[in-house]
Amino acid sequence: MDNQRISDIFAEIANLLEMQGEDPFRIRAYRRAAQTISHFRSEIRILAQAGRLAEIPGVGKILTRDITQLIETGRVRYHEHLRSTVPEGLLAILRLPSLTTDQVRLLWRKHHVTSMKQLIQLYRNHRLPFEADILEALSRDLNNWERDQSRMLLGMALPRAELLAQNLQRISLVERISIAGSLRRGVDLVGDMNIVMATPDPDQLIGTCTRQSEVRQVLFTQSSTNSYSDASDVGASAVIITSEGLRVSLAAVLPSQFDLALLHFTGSKSHIASLNRLAQQRGIHLTATRFTRFRDHSEVPADSETTIYHQLGLPWIAPELRENAGEIEAAMTGSLPAMISDDEVLGDLHVHSNWGNGAHGLENIATAAQRLGYQYVAICDYTYSPATGQGLTPEALRKQIVAIRHLNASLPPTFRLLASAEVEVTADGEIHFDEEVLQELDIVVAAIHTGFKAPQNQITRRLCKAMEHPLVHILAHPSGRMLGRQERPAIDMDTILETAVETNTCLEINSHVLRLDLCDHYVRQAKDLGLLLALGSDAHSVQEMRTMRLGVMTARRGWLEPRQLLNAMSYRDLYRHFHQRDAMHAF
């Protein structure tokens, strides 16, 4: 039970009370608690176990009761009672940011809307009683909602798909196996989980796969003999639901067809369409299982993706670039980016320790980091902020710096912990913290975690002001987006990027499962502006440090090259970089 989940339930209680026209004081109490808890930096679960819930501002007797119930039983009886008073479908509508609770109540009482489907129907028939600007915002929300129905976070989907592929690989009929689809391209929200397999007997293999113990349901199967008769030509296939509820498309083809199928199922659709046009110009027929000349139906070599691209006059294009976003033109002119790879990442620039709200101590982090092959890790706990009443005080941070320097002296010379901190930017863009202590840090990271409901220009100004602060090196999770929750940045990203250039500030690619911020799109914009970017796992435990690969995929999707990545610098170069930058700022 994490804080966000508790906060979501309280926010829903507030909405449901409002739908029923209940006591405004009670509504406000739940809404305030939801906000406080979502920004609270210690785990509420742990406070509850220690009997310290009363320390959370705005949490009185009733809310303490609810939190305790929630943690002990996973449910709140009051919440369940309220839910039963409102049709299930309205709960999703209540979560749309564009509609107020009053508007949802109006839809329910006057227009009898009880499901998202009905709402979409009314919207399409122009029957909604709202002003144009609300309708415009609603249209965006409805589009997002429809899209999100079938999408999953990259960081959740990837390990699950890898585990499934590992298990399927044990089937003796499987000669080769690979993850394909948007997952292989590293898309932040994955629509389709695709697995492609090579086997001497595609039909039998698909049959075997669908009988595996982790398959809960088989939605669809198609035999290869059927598919050969139609133009789509995709081998044998099945769509299954796993025991975890994931929808996965499986494709099985002959070993000689594997790379064609892998290319085809990796997509994207528009990238493949462009490849098809190139193939046609060369008189070649390209499908998921066939690569043949129009003229005499003779086969064109297709024993690897590289061979296939070569036959089309192109170098191999990495999956993360296959979005038909200029990669084919770049391939033609030999100007594909030399993208960053996992082993070029020499350190992690954002890790929380147990000095703050992380789970592990400095030594554990140093050991884990060396195991990952890193040369350095920046210890980056929150500094004290009056708004939340939490974080390291200047005294505590000073002690941590001493502890880091002390530990470094006992570590091998090939590895260093860097003293850093994640400093909260105040509502007016200031950094209220002892500057003498900040000056002692190797790296100062600034961030905001609250106040995203303020007007866009205000939040943008707040972040720009923070970047103008001479001590700030890196801006963490710059757009503030949360995947699947709040994807549109609440700020003007063009201004943020320009200010980063002017102030020589690095922007972070935060690799946390829920963030991936900057996203691929802004990474590419930052790259074109010549900015330096910093990868950080934002790990709160040593296990979470492994999410770095999600950030690397995002960086690759943004065409980022090592020379524009801070983490690709050796410890020495990194140190020199910040030293020179600080010297410049001093003038």
Closest CB 476 distance from Zn ion, rounded Å: 6
Query: DSSP character for 464?
Result: H
Cβ proximity to Zn ion: between 287 and 537 the closer is 537
Cβ proximity to Zn ion: between 309 and 355 the closer is 355
Cβ proximity to Zn ion: between 422 and 544 the closer is 422
Cβ proximity to Zn ion: between 128 and 418 the closer is 418
Cβ proximity to Zn ion: between 192 and 422 the closer is 422
Residue 127's contacts (CB-CB under 8 Å, 6 or more residues apart) are: 111
Distance between CA 212 and CA 377 in Å, rounded? 42
Closest CB 111 distance from Zn ion, rounded Å: 44
Q: Which two tokens stand for residue 537?
A: 């796992």
Cβ proximity to Zn ion: between 262 and 474 the closer is 474
Closest CB 407 distance from Zn ion, rounded Å: 20
Distance between CA 100 and CA 117 in Å, rounded? 18
Closest CB 509 distance from Zn ion, rounded Å: 13
Closest CB 352 distance from Zn ion, rounded Å: 6
Please spell the DSSP secondary structure of 530-570, one letter per residue: T--EEEE--BSSTGGGGGHHHHHHHHHHTT--GGGBGGGS-
Query: DSSP character for 178?
Result: E
Closest CB 20 distance from Zn ion, rounded Å: 38
Cβ proximity to Zn ion: between 320 and 422 the closer is 422
Query: What are the two backbone dihedrals, phi and then psi, of residue 220, each rounded to the nearest 5 degrees?
Result: -170, 135
- What residue has token string 């690095």? 506
Mapped onto helix, strand or coil, the DSSP state of residue 442 is coil
CB 382 within 8 A of CB 34: no
Closest CB 568 distance from Zn ion, rounded Å: 21
Distance between CA 425 and CA 433 in Å, rounded? 10
Cβ proximity to Zn ion: between 233 and 422 the closer is 422
Q: Which two tokens stand for residue 448?
A: 């905001």
Query: DSSP character for 303?
Result: S
Cβ proximity to Zn ion: between 305 and 538 the closer is 538
Distance between CA 287 and CA 279 in Å, rounded? 10
Closest CB 445 distance from Zn ion, rounded Å: 8
Phi-psi region of 414 (alpha: psi -120 to 50; beta: other; left: phi over 0): alpha
Closest CB 357 distance from Zn ion, rounded Å: 9
Which residues lie near Zn ion (CB under 5 A)?
Answer: 422, 538
Closest CB 485 distance from Zn ion, rounded Å: 17
Q: What angle do CA 39, 40, 43 make, to 5 degrees?
A: 135
Give the residue closest to Zn ion by C-beta: 538
Mapped onto helix, strand or coil, the DSSP state of residue 301 is coil
Strand order across the beta sheet in which 236-242 lies? 176-180, 193-198, 247-253, 236-242, 215-222
Cβ proximity to Zn ion: between 31 and 462 the closer is 462
- What residue has token string 């975890």? 244
Closest CB 355 distance from Zn ion, rounded Å: 13
Distance between CA 358 and CA 235 in Å, rounded? 48
Please spell the DSSP secondary structure of 311-363, one letter per residue: HTT-----GGGTTTSSHHHHHHTT-------GGG--EEEEE--TTTT-SS-HH
Cβ proximity to Zn ion: between 12 and 538 the closer is 538
Cβ proximity to Zn ion: between 115 and 388 the closer is 388
Cβ proximity to Zn ion: between 464 and 539 the closer is 539
Distance between CA 39 and CA 31 in Å, rounded? 13
Strand order across the beta sheet in which 533-536 lies? 347-351, 376-382, 416-424, 443-447, 474-475, 506-510, 533-536
Closest CB 536 distance from Zn ion, rounded Å: 7
CB 509 within 8 A of CB 538: no
Closest CB 380 distance from Zn ion, rounded Å: 6
Query: DSSP character for 288?
Result: S
